[in-house]
Copies of this chain bind each other. A is one copy, B any other.
């Protein structure tokens, strides 16, 4: 087991009817900015629940934070925060809204050009950052219980990340009832995203971290078991399945399963390029890249792939190589069972040359190697993308 440090101070308030607890969690004298996205919260009742809970608070609103939260929108929000003397932020939404709110938290007290926080990866330390809480409406990214965020900037075509221990939400309210109104496409994306978060922290090489491995396998098994139930029509809403999906997505990326083990994240890096080139949903790009990534890096990953086969897919027959290969196929089948295609050519006819483009994009940035060994080169990324056509 590798040495590690772990601290996660976010208070999770989980369950039915918990949004009403906002009144106790947001300081009574706070000047609150409520931040949300495209407005779905006005259709599913969450907006009203939040407003009712905070009826006695001083509250301003900022809607319209887009998926892949955009720097220009957030920059205008920063001006508003100053103008209205805001001192508490409340994100009501999914990962994009929460990530945008984390950037605002970091930037509100930052002395200098806000873009530097991302460009120079300025960490927000404990005690820094404007306090904020979240009401989660879309299980997927885990942003509700971690301290990282990703911001996009159309003007320059950049998509950059930052974070730091000062950016854990003070609290996050997770009411599984919100799953009821999420469109199936987004549920499938959320499941695939959480699943791949686990695999990025698990499918590396063995380090004797048995409990962490078992926790990772628990989330995978639980997502597999829960997926068909949450994908079912909303008339058959299964509260426990929704709750389980929500808790799995949070536990998949709150830091716990990454402690004491190496992590990969190459699939995410390659996937981001496919989103940039073709606008394919983030989770779906992961499903396209992961099988080829695991096949290309088969030799260094096969021990964990075989363990994944045995413990998650109950495949006990065959050699290590055979089990490992079957596990990759099982993973592909799982994604397809969610209605998620696993080949780039199923999303676009213009896939020719994508490998070269990804290689060129990686080469143009200061490349220091991807994957758990930090050795994967831009040329290898090209091969993996080409294997994904």
The chain A residues found within 8 Å of chain B, CB to CB, are: 1-18, 176, 207-212, 214-215, 217-219, 221-222, 225-226, 239-241, 243-244, 247-248, 251, 259-260
Number of copies: 2
Q: Which residue of B lies closest to A223 (CB)?
A: B211
| Contact in complex: B211, A218 (CB < 8 Å) | yes
A15 partner, pick from B3, B18, B219, B248, beta carbons under 8 A: B3
Decide: A12 near B1, CB < 8 A? Known: A210-B226, A214-B221: no
- Jot down 26 A-B pairs with beta carbons below 8 A, ordered by A: A1-B15, A1-B176, A1-B243, A3-B14, A3-B18, A5-B12, A5-B13, A6-B11, A6-B12, A7-B9, A7-B11, A8-B9, A9-B9, A14-B260, A207-B240, A208-B244, A209-B244, A210-B226, A211-B222, A211-B247, A211-B251, A214-B221, A215-B218, A217-B218, A218-B218, A247-B260
Chain B residues with CB below 8 A from A247, complex form: 1, 211-212, 260
Chain B residues with CB below 8 A from A1, complex form: 15, 176, 239-240, 243-244, 247
* Complex CA distance for A95 and B295, rounded to whole angstroms: 47
A210 partner, pick from B11, B207, B222, beta carbons under 8 A: B222
| Contact in complex: A243, B208 (CB < 8 Å) | yes
Q: A7-B10, A8-B9 are in contact. List 13 more A-B contacts (CB 8 A).
A: A1-B247, A3-B16, A4-B15, A5-B12, A7-B11, A7-B12, A9-B9, A12-B259, A208-B240, A209-B243, A210-B225, A211-B251, A214-B219
* Complex CA distance for A251 and B257, rounded to whole angstroms: 12
Chain B residues with CB below 8 A from A241, complex form: 208
Chain B residues with CB below 8 A from A221, complex form: 214
A21 smallest CB distance to B (angstroms): 9
* Complex CA distance for A225 and B208, rounded to whole angstroms: 12
Chain B residues with CB below 8 A from A16, complex form: 3
Chain B residues with CB below 8 A from A219, complex form: 211, 214
Chain B residues with CB below 8 A from A10, complex form: 7
Chain B residues with CB below 8 A from A208, complex form: 240-241, 243-244
Q: Which residue of B lies closest to A220 (CB)?
A: B214
* Complex CA distance for A248 and B1, rounded to whole angstroms: 13
| Contact in complex: B15, A11 (CB < 8 Å) | no
* Complex CA distance for A7 and B8, rounded to whole angstroms: 8
* Complex CA distance for A16 and B222, rounded to whole angstroms: 33
Chain B residues with CB below 8 A from A217, complex form: 218
| Contact in complex: B9, A14 (CB < 8 Å) | no
* Complex CA distance for A209 and B208, rounded to whole angstroms: 28
A14 partner, pick from B6, B239, B251, beta carbons under 8 A: B6
User: 3 nearest interchain CB pairs?
Assistant: A3-B15, A208-B240, A214-B218
A141 smallest CB distance to B (angstroms): 17
| Contact in complex: A14, B7 (CB < 8 Å) | no
A273 smallest CB distance to B (angstroms): 32
Decide: A211 near B4, CB < 8 A? Known: A9-B9, A259-B14, A260-B243: no
Most chain B beta-carbon neighbours within 10 Å: one of A6, A7, A210, A212 = A210
Q: Which residue of B lies closest to A5 (CB)?
A: B13
A215 partner, pick from B207, B215, B240, beta carbons under 8 A: B215
| Contact in complex: B3, A11 (CB < 8 Å) | no
Q: Which residue of B lies closest to A219 (CB)?
A: B211
| Contact in complex: A222, B214 (CB < 8 Å) | yes
Chain B residues with CB below 8 A from A214, complex form: 218-219, 221-222
Q: Which residue of B lies closest to A168 (CB)?
A: B9
Chain B residues with CB below 8 A from A5, complex form: 11-14
